Structure 1
Amino acid sequence: MADSLRREYGGRPPETRLPSTRAIAAQHGVGPVTVQSALRLLVAEGIVETRPGNGTFVARRPRPPHERDLSWQTTALGPAGPLDVELPGARSAAPGALAMHGGYPAPELLPGALVRSALARAARDSSVVLDAQMNSGLPRLRAWFANEPGPAAGYDADDVLVTNGGQSAVSATLRALAAPGDAVVMESPTYWGAMLAARAHGLRIVPIARTVDGIDPGDLADALAAHNARVFYAQPTFANPSGEVWSPSVRAETLRVLAEHKAFVVEDDWARDLAIDDAPPPLAAADPDGHVVYVRSLTKSMSPSIRVAGIVARGPALRRISTSRWAGEMFVPGLAQHVALDVLTAPGWRRHIATLRRELRERRDALVRELRATPLSVDRVPGGGMSVWVRLPGDVPARDVARRASALGLEVAPGDDWFPAEPPGQCVRMGFVATLPTRYREAVGILAEAAGV
């Protein structure tokens, strides 16, 4: 029915009035309900518009882009700034394309039944749906986050602030701990969202290279001293994009360096639930003196619609972060918090994490096998996370390879997006959580063709 109406009215002049629902139903030999459902689809597509009391009309078309004069914005906006970048997570894949560039697992990897049941229970409570939650978060949810570094760490609910996802947590923390113009030390490569948050706040990023064991703590000490920095952003466990894990000695020495320089580390533990191999305890587990600001996100393992994360910190730093959070968000909706808590405390949550771990292992291993059958290089198999860091042969720029792959129906993320400075080699990030393993061979074949191997 919708196709018939689209063909019949899609080319009519704007403001053309459609016949009544009953007239259309009689014309096509269907019921009025069928016509109403079809019209709703056309309204959503912008083909027709309804005007209560007047009827349904062919929609007014916006002015074509080429007829708009937006040149005034060039002067108003001024020189290009930190927000004039192409974000790897913001690109949409074409219909039917192999989307291996994004950062969210496919629905079949998520606890859909648990989330739906929790939503249904929460929706029946009017206080959950309608009341504002202008506080640091639900006490029981904060207590859950406080326990994540381990009971021996001694955190409690008062040391936790609930935020709208990990990106909000990182942004609020960087704004609170550093002033515009300050330096912030980051691993290279590292998460592009953290770099964006730092640059948007006017911070100078000082990169230190990743090593086989994580980082060189000596490099960290030198960077903190040379740039008078007091903040270090890091992902010690299953780093994005490479999936690497810091060794125990690097963890211990890093905490010593932070204490010596009276500095903070923002520990982004984004992939705790995405462990394939065993995950070591967070840095926060061995930090009694408040050097670690621990960020723990749930979005990747629960649902993109349940954007909930926790910031665990001690002392004045947490108070500053709490105030900083208000600059970007007043509070986390109670509905999301109640759903998250319900899912976390359900008997099926641990079973979901165990199943997810097995599925991630199978997918990772399947993609690595396909990659290793080509000249494409995988230096290290990730111990967790959602992607494989692929080194390209030769000197073809990763952005060019990504563009060629996109034209062939595969979306991957060029490695440049993860480096705070010049990349030392050409790499792409290839995710294994949003595409079925049955299509990995096709995807790797496209990438190899795009890379010219």
Structure 2
Amino acid sequence: MNDSSTSGDLADGLRALVAGLAVGDRLPSSRELISRYRVGPATVARAIAALAAEGTVVTRPGSGTYVARPPGTEGRDAGADTDWQTVALTDRTVDTHLVGDPLGPVPAGTIPLDGGYIHRSLQPTRALSAALARAARRPDAWDRAPAGGLTALRTVLARLVGGTVTSDDVLVTAGGQSALSIAFRAIAAPGSPVLVESPTYPRALAAARAAGLRPVPVPLDAAGLRPDLLADAFAMTGARLLYCQPTFQNPTGTVLAPERRRQVLDIARASGAFVLEDDFARHLGHGGAVPRPLVADDRDGTVVHVTSLTKPGAPSLRIGALVARGPVMERMRAVRLVDDFFVTRPLQEAALEILSSPSWDRHVRALGTELRSRCAVLADAVLLDVPGATLTGLPTGGLHLWVRLPPGVDDHALARAARHRGVAVSAGRRYFAAEPTAAHLRIGFAAAADHAELTEGARRLGTALADL
């Protein structure tokens, strides 16, 4: 073959070559084909493209061209070679160890004291089902929803947040986790530091790291985030973002003291930084007063607020919101538009139905009463059955106890031993962005079926501690 040979002639020659090779065999490199067939690079590229289009070969960038499997037989060989993807994907990994259960699936019959959702018996399932049925019957139920969310739903969510927040300040999201992911990617550039409470919510750490950010811990005490150390952290790192949970913090249950709320905002504003306020527990108070969110008193656009209906509602009520003012909201709207356009309309309509009904307020009050009772039962049981365990405080909201373990006890080992005894708890080290200050467990009281399961779970945990 000479220089005037067409790519069609070369393609015929390559088909003949492929006929003598096995599936997965590598064809000669482009340089070898140029030399062997005496053609130019463009001719080789066109011929290989033709064979790839017809399914005769498959090209793997950075690796080469290989004989393809005949159409219709792709699923017959479990040993397909996908190693080439390691090179193509480079080193940009997404760490999910903070999202999944490090001990694996929970065996049947295990008492769930590690859950982050309320038990089915506490969910407003009848009201949710009725609201979804009514929403689905609307003539426009399956129409495209506005990218920012239904105006009526945004208005209701703004009213729940309070202060001077309006519907224009609200962006509806697919739950709180989606809101965190959007905010982290919109506010800070990859490689930037983000200040976080220590300890803090593991899935927020995972979302921040997936956005390429570097979490920097700032310690808490009984009154919440320490302003003196926060100021030091901003000065040392140059961070432009703080992630915090001022109300019923996960995992400690602490509430940021009133005087510190203004200090935190003043420090962030002086540092030219945003405060990402995760208000996941707004509807999880145990019957007492719940402080106003930081964003309600923020007029300068310092606070980006996250709220969600999932925790007080049900796991699949994936409705949340971001609240913000200024260019940061436009940035977040752009990110969510690129991500998924909008949250499904029937679910937004159902959320609007439930929030607009008196049944929601009744549900929140009843849930608070039950959570307070469960919290007290579990706290008493842990102190009785887990020798040496110390409660860092009895929370007045939220779903968890934060328990300090006796000296010398390994939290991960105890969580594993507890699983063998039929109770699931969360090892405290998952909640720290750096080295933990001591061994803790996060023990939940919302996912168990009833009080009897809570007391039995504490008994099993005590037995697991004795096993160590």
Establish whether TM, by shorter chain, passes 0.5. Answer: yes
Using the TM superposition, give the Cα deviation of residue 80 of structure 1 relative to its aligned residue in structure 2, in angstroms: 8.8
Residue 424 (1) aligns with residue 437 (2): yes
Aligned 1:131-170 pairs, distance under 5 A: 131-150=143-162, 153-170=163-180
Equivalent in the alignment of 1:399: 412
Q: Distance in 2 between matches of 1:353 and 1:107?
A: 15
Using the TM superposition, give the Cα deviation of residue 74 of structure 1 relative to its aligned residue in structure 2, in angstroms: 9.2
Equivalent in the alignment of 1:7: none
Using the TM superposition, give the Cα deviation of residue 63 of structure 1 relative to its aligned residue in structure 2, in angstroms: 8.7
Q: Distance in 1 between matches of 2:135 and 2:433?
A: 42
Question: Normalized against structure 2, the TM-score is what?
Answer: 0.79
For 1:127, what is the secondary structure of its paired residue?
coil
Q: 1:84–1:154: structure 2 CA closer, same or farther, 3 Å change rule?
A: closer
Is this contact kept in 1: 2:95–2:210, CA < 8 A? yes
For 2:403, what is the secondary structure of its paired residue?
strand
Using the TM superposition, give the Cα deviation of residue 75 of structure 1 relative to its aligned residue in structure 2, in angstroms: 4.7
Q: 1:381–1:78: structure 2 CA closer, same or farther, 3 Å change rule?
A: same
Equivalent in the alignment of 2:326: 315
Q: Which runs of 5+ in 2 are unaligned?
A: 1-74
Residue 450 (1) aligns with residue 464 (2): yes
Q: Which has the larger radius of gyration?
A: 2
Q: Distance in 2 between matches of 1:366 and 1:282?
A: 29
Using the TM superposition, give the Cα deviation of residue 385 of structure 1 relative to its aligned residue in structure 2, in angstroms: 0.7
Equivalent in the alignment of 2:125: 112
Q: 1:327–1:218: structure 2 CA closer, same or farther, 3 Å change rule?
A: farther
Using the TM superposition, give the Cα deviation of residue 119 of structure 1 relative to its aligned residue in structure 2, in angstroms: 1.2
Is this contact kept in 1: 2:253–2:400, CA < 8 A? yes
Is this contact kept in 1: 2:98–2:206, CA < 8 A? no
Q: Distance in 2 between matches of 1:294 and 1:348?
A: 25
Q: Distance in 2 between matches of 1:75 and 1:114?
A: 48
For 2:131, what is the secondary structure of its paired residue?
helix
Equivalent in the alignment of 1:270: 280
The 10-residue stretch of structure 1 (78-87 or 308-317) with the greater mean CA deviation from structure 2: 78-87
Is this contact kept in 2: 1:89–1:102, CA < 8 A? no
**1:173-223 deviation per Cα after TM superposition (whole angstroms, max 9, x unaligned):** 111110001110000101111100110111011110011111111211111
Equivalent in the alignment of 2:427: 414
Equivalent in the alignment of 2:452: 438
Is this contact kept in 2: 1:237–1:245, CA < 8 A? yes
Using the TM superposition, give the Cα deviation of residue 447 of structure 1 relative to its aligned residue in structure 2, in angstroms: 1.3
In structure 2, give the amino acid aligned to 1:257. Answer: I
Equivalent in the alignment of 1:367: 378
Q: Distance in 1 between matches of 2:129 and 2:275?
A: 36
Residue 93 (1) aligns with residue 93 (2): no
Is this contact kept in 2: 1:88–1:102, CA < 8 A? no
Q: Distance in 2 between matches of 1:71 and 1:377?
A: 50
Question: Normalized against structure 1, the TM-score is what?
Answer: 0.81
Is this contact kept in 1: 2:377–2:455, CA < 8 A? no
Which of the numbers 202, 222, 241 marks the counterpart of 2:212?
202
Q: Distance in 2 between matches of 1:74 and 1:94?
A: 34
Q: 1:83–1:344: structure 2 CA closer, same or farther, 3 Å change rule?
A: same
For 2:312, what is the secondary structure of its paired residue?
helix
Q: 1:122–1:74: structure 2 CA closer, same or farther, 3 Å change rule?
A: closer
For 1:155, what is the secondary structure of its paired residue?
coil
Is this contact kept in 2: 1:88–1:101, CA < 8 A? no
Q: Distance in 1 between matches of 2:101 and 2:339?
A: 20
Which of the numbers 215, 219, 223 marks the counterpart of 2:233?
223
Give RMSD over aligned pairs: 2.1
Q: Distance in 2 between matches of 1:63 and 1:418?
A: 43
Equivalent in the alignment of 2:295: 284
**1:392-443 deviation per Cα after TM superposition (whole angstroms, max 9, x unaligned):** 1122221111111111111111111111011111111111111121122221
Equivalent in the alignment of 1:244: 254
Equivalent in the alignment of 1:83: 95
In structure 2, give the amino acid aligned to 1:331. Answer: F
In structure 1, give the amino acid aligned to 2:456. Answer: E
Is this contact kept in 1: 2:197–2:244, CA < 8 A? yes
Q: Which runs of 5+ in 1 are unaligned?
A: 1-61
In structure 2, give the amino acid aligned to 1:336. Answer: L
Q: Distance in 2 between matches of 1:75 and 1:68?
A: 16
Is this contact kept in 2: 1:88–1:413, CA < 8 A? no
Equivalent in the alignment of 1:124: 137
Equivalent in the alignment of 2:362: 351
Q: Distance in 1 between matches of 2:91 and 2:181?
A: 23
Percent identity, aligned pairs only?
Answer: 40
Equivalent in the alignment of 2:21: none
Using the TM superposition, give the Cα deviation of residue 87 of structure 1 relative to its aligned residue in structure 2, in angstroms: 2.7
For 2:140, what is the secondary structure of its paired residue?
helix
Which of the numbers 342, 347, 350 marks the counterpart of 1:336?
347
Q: Distance in 2 between matches of 1:148 and 1:107?
A: 24
Is this contact kept in 2: 1:392–1:451, CA < 8 A? no
**1:320-374 deviation per Cα after TM superposition (whole angstroms, max 9, x unaligned):** 0111223432210001100001000111111111100100011000000101113
Using the TM superposition, give the Cα deviation of residue 89 of structure 1 relative to its aligned residue in structure 2, in angstroms: 5.7
Q: 1:160–1:86: structure 2 CA closer, same or farther, 3 Å change rule?
A: closer
